[in-house]
Chains A and B, each alone.
Chain A
């Protein structure tokens, strides 16, 4: 089978660049700093419940750190990809080949996803520190890494979609950050002022005990499932069970947390994963259609 040539060439160029090892070092270094800060003093102190809890907290913080780093890196990586081809004037050269719009989009996606996966996997040994201290299982770390990979994939599709509409990389990157922020804010904001507020206030929360998991899930606002943070929080909650106190600090977050707890954290995180991947699929299809329809914003008119 032939490897996507765009992926092959980009991977070659990326790995040749001095920025790549620097980025990986910085990423793993940041993760390691969080881990060392939280687990400092653990070794040689003996195994206590308190220390095990501390290692779980370190795991949660490291996961949160990876989540934010992905949200920071993904739009910047993918938003510049198609717009960057236009800027370099290589977009037309690709369009006159046999690769087609899907080949370009999948090549760009694979290129950026491979790099993000490299970052994620290089962080796994640091995450394993939480396993070594007995706080979380190996399976939980694997699940979280896969979940983070799915978030990376989805965030990349947002960047690619925006990139297909823009002519300049910088504009595309800014617009992608805005799009990612809007997806997070709107999915949350609509939930706050949508059906959730009506359903899960006051004594309704007490009545949840009598509702089935399906009924609770149906009552939850659809938009909330599009928020990757919700999926990740519920996944971590299902793995660790210690997020209750943290979530209490935000009432609305607590409501979702309570509802998700009643419906089952694992089910909610799976629904979030499915919704996220479905939305990513739609964005990918949209990107391909835009390129097929003429490449979004075309090169300026010439003689």
Chain B
């Protein structure tokens, strides 16, 4: 669905997007992650035909967005990270305006607007003035606007930004539903756990460059690979016990353990057999183990790690 080759965009001296190569298959929910200034919005605005690339090419559904923006717009639904409002316009009138701009006939418009308001749980807000809606409701309305013409690709730039946790959860549910309909969704967000729940694949951008792109399971492997085993003892260990525990850990896992008063932490890949052997030897050495768990790295940890690399 999205295919871009060596896509670059320069603002004067600043290279906002540097030779981006990206491939997103149809039906995927693709997360677009990166710190501020990474080039996410720039890339999304190029895909949405709002910005021309300085060099390179972006294809959406087989259409070159720079060469044929009108054809590309039929395929794309774009929701930016801001919400533009008009005074004195009701929710359905707001959607009606954009449906008209999408060349949807008056009869089909009514039906489509009602469908979308139902889908986003906004049916009861139909007659409310847009100005009076909460931020969460405005974001939902904005999502309805992006979906009016039933696009194959949805480009959502920070769809949950500025929303309270409850609205974010509701938005996440709506997006999950949209993902299930088989639409391709490109979604950027700073809230990484949200993306990990929603997305089937992900790209990480930093300083305009693509630093990671792949399926979520690849990223999950990285997460699991970076897991830390934590073993807790029933009391604070004295120096001799600490030395003993460190020695056992070294012997069984080959890794150095970080010891504090009643706990030891070992960075090692997840391996249940090795975990069992370690616990057995620690107990066998007379140390009283009372708990054992793995501190898995979060998506944020992996993100920071990838950026660091």
> B85 an interface residue at 8 Å Cβ cutoff?
yes
Asked whether, in the complex, the Cβ of B101 is within 8 Å of the Cβ of A303, the reply is no
Asked whether, in the complex, the Cβ of B100 is within 8 Å of the Cβ of A303, the reply is no
User: B86, B100, B106 — which one has the most chain A CB atoms within 10 A of its CB?
Assistant: B100
Asked whether, in the complex, the Cβ of B89 is within 8 Å of the Cβ of A98, the reply is no
Beyond A93-B145, A103-B101, whether A303 also contacts B48 by CB under 8 A is no
Tell me which of B11, B48, B87 contacts A13 (CB under 8 A): B87
Beyond A303-B39, A303-B42, whether A96 also contacts B106 by CB under 8 A is no
Distance between Cα atoms of A99 and B70 in the complex (Å): 9
Within 8 A of B (CB), among A135-176: none
> B111 an interface residue at 8 Å Cβ cutoff?
no
> B8 an interface residue at 8 Å Cβ cutoff?
no
Asked whether, in the complex, the Cβ of B145 is within 8 Å of the Cβ of A13, the reply is no
| Count of CB-CB pairs between chains A and B under 8 Å | 99
> B209 an interface residue at 8 Å Cβ cutoff?
no
> A9 an interface residue at 8 Å Cβ cutoff?
yes
Residues of A within 8 A of B78 (CB): 92-93, 96
> A302 an interface residue at 8 Å Cβ cutoff?
yes
Asked whether, in the complex, the Cβ of B84 is within 8 Å of the Cβ of A303, the reply is no
Asked whether, in the complex, the Cβ of A2 is within 8 Å of the Cβ of B105, the reply is yes
Residues of B within 8 A of A16 (CB): 88
Q: How far is the CB of B122 from chain A (nearest CB, A)?
A: 18
Name A301's closest neighbour in chain B (CB-CB).
Answer: B11
Name B129's closest neighbour in chain A (CB-CB).
Answer: A16
Asked whether, in the complex, the Cβ of B89 is within 8 Å of the Cβ of A13, the reply is yes
Q: How far is the CB of A1 from chain B (nearest CB, A)?
A: 11
Stretch at the interface among B90-98, B160-168, B264-272: B90-98
Stretch at the interface among B30-38, B219-227, B299-307: B30-38
Asked whether, in the complex, the Cβ of A97 is within 8 Å of the Cβ of B34, the reply is no
Tell me which of B41, B88, B98, B145 contacts A303 (CB under 8 A): B41
Q: How far is the CB of A289 from chain B (nearest CB, A)?
A: 15
Asked whether, in the complex, the Cβ of A99 is within 8 Å of the Cβ of B39, the reply is no
Asked whether, in the complex, the Cβ of A303 is within 8 Å of the Cβ of B102, the reply is no
Number of B interface residues in the complex (CB < 8 A): 45
- Contact code string B33-70 (vs A, CB < 8 Å = 1, else 0): 01011111110010011111000000000000000001
Residues of A within 8 A of B93 (CB): 9, 12
Distance between Cα atoms of A5 and B98 in the complex (Å): 8
Asked whether, in the complex, the Cβ of A98 is within 8 Å of the Cβ of B102, the reply is yes
- Contact code string B236-273 (vs A, CB < 8 Å = 1, else 0): 00000000000000000000000000000000000000
Beyond A303-B36, A303-B40, whether A9 also contacts B86 by CB under 8 A is yes
Distance between Cα atoms of A88 and B149 in the complex (Å): 23
Asked whether, in the complex, the Cβ of B48 is within 8 Å of the Cβ of A2, the reply is no
- Contact code string A72-94 (vs B, CB < 8 Å = 1, else 0): 00000000000001001111111
Within 8 A of B (CB), among A287-303: 294, 298, 301-303
Beyond A17-B88, A92-B50, A301-B16, whether A2 also contacts B11 by CB under 8 A is no
Residues of B within 8 A of A189 (CB): none
Asked whether, in the complex, the Cβ of B50 is within 8 Å of the Cβ of A95, the reply is yes
> B280 an interface residue at 8 Å Cβ cutoff?
no
Distance between Cα atoms of A97 and B99 in the complex (Å): 9
Residues of A within 8 A of B37 (CB): 303
Asked whether, in the complex, the Cβ of A13 is within 8 Å of the Cβ of B100, the reply is no
Distance between Cα atoms of A294 and B50 in the complex (Å): 8
Asked whether, in the complex, the Cβ of A13 is within 8 Å of the Cβ of B86, the reply is yes
Asked whether, in the complex, the Cβ of B87 is within 8 Å of the Cβ of A97, the reply is no
Tell me which of A12, A95, A103, A302 contacts B42 (CB under 8 A): A302
Residues of B within 8 A of A100 (CB): 70
Residues of A within 8 A of B40 (CB): 303
> A113 an interface residue at 8 Å Cβ cutoff?
no
Residues of B within 8 A of A2 (CB): 100, 103, 105-106
> B296 an interface residue at 8 Å Cβ cutoff?
no
Q: How far is the CB of A301 from chain B (nearest CB, A)?
A: 5
> B112 an interface residue at 8 Å Cβ cutoff?
no
Asked whether, in the complex, the Cβ of B84 is within 8 Å of the Cβ of A93, the reply is yes
Q: How far is the CB of B11 from chain A (nearest CB, A)?
A: 5
- Contact code string B75-88 (vs A, CB < 8 Å = 1, else 0): 01010111111111
Within 8 A of B (CB), among A270-290: none
- Contact code string B125-152 (vs A, CB < 8 Å = 1, else 0): 0000000000000000000010001000
Distance between Cα atoms of A8 and B109 in the complex (Å): 14
Residues of A within 8 A of B51 (CB): 298
Residues of A within 8 A of B52 (CB): 294
Distance between Cα atoms of A17 and B86 in the complex (Å): 12
Residues of A within 8 A of B86 (CB): 9, 13, 88, 90
Tell me which of A8, A13, A94, A302 contacts B88 (CB under 8 A): A13
> A6 an interface residue at 8 Å Cβ cutoff?
yes
Name A93's closest neighbour in chain B (CB-CB).
Answer: B84
Asked whether, in the complex, the Cβ of B50 is within 8 Å of the Cβ of A96, the reply is yes
Beyond A6-B97, A302-B41, whether A98 also contacts B103 by CB under 8 A is yes
Beyond A96-B49, A302-B42, A303-B39, whether A90 also contacts B84 by CB under 8 A is yes
Q: List 19 A-B contacts (CB under 8 A).
A: A2-B103, A5-B98, A5-B100, A8-B97, A9-B93, A9-B96, A9-B97, A12-B93, A13-B86, A17-B88, A88-B86, A90-B85, A90-B86, A92-B84, A93-B78, A96-B48, A96-B78, A98-B101, A100-B70
Given contacts A100-B70, A302-B45, 7 further A-B contacts (CB under 8 A): A8-B97, A9-B97, A88-B86, A89-B84, A90-B86, A96-B73, A99-B102
| 4 tightest Cβ-Cβ pairs between the two chains A and B | A5-B100, A90-B84, A97-B101, A89-B84
